[in-house]
Structure 1
Amino acid sequence: MRIEKFKMEREGLVEEGEEVTISERRPSSGRYTYLVEPSVAMSGIFRTTERIKARKGIIRKIEHTDRGYYLHVEVEE
């Protein structure tokens, strides 16, 4: 299992403990980004060797900072 962070702009879109779907986006540069669907939150950039292979995850924590909201999503790899 691994935990990945996703940035969410508004609160109240999802809750801790909720199962979410993760979709992969690959630009031509070979680096990957991920979305918690339906476009709730977005990941940072991952290299090919760091890709998230799972398409489902569980929200373990929602963190509120001065920069926004961050989802800590646990995925099985």
Structure 2
Amino acid sequence: MKQIEFRMERPNLVKVGDQVEVSARELQTLQGLMYCYTIEPAVAMSGNIPFSDKVYESTGMVSKVEEGPSYWTVTVDFEN
């Protein structure tokens, strides 16, 4: 199982237990190939994820939502 953290800037868009759809964007950087994921429809965005940690599924389950100073961190579990 893989976990990815997403940054959400508005409250209550997703909750623990929600199944979410994600889209991926491929980025070529100086560090190599990276991926950036978005919980659709534009709910939250991940940071850059290295190719070695690529997620091959487009759906995941929200396992945690933590409140920060001005944003929320959403953790999504993927089966692969």
The TM-score normalised by the length of structure 2 is: 0.87
State the partner residue of 1:32.
35
4+ residue runs over 2 A deviation: 27-30
User: Offset at 1:2?
Assistant: 2.0
Kept in 1, the 8 Å contact 2:2–2:55? The answer is no
Query: Which one has a larger percent strand, Structure 1 or Structure 2?
Result: 2
Equivalenced residue count is 77
Unmatched runs of 5 consecutive residues or more in structure 1: none
The TM-score normalised by the length of structure 1 is: 0.90
State the partner residue of 2:4.
4
User: Does residue 1:74 correspond to 2:66, yes or no?
Assistant: no
Which of the numbers 51, 56, 66 marks the counterpart of 2:54?
A: 51
CA RMSD of aligned residues (A): 1.2
Using the aligned pairs only, state the percent identity.
Answer: 32
Unmatched runs of 5 consecutive residues or more in structure 2: none
SS of the counterpart of 1:32? Answer: strand
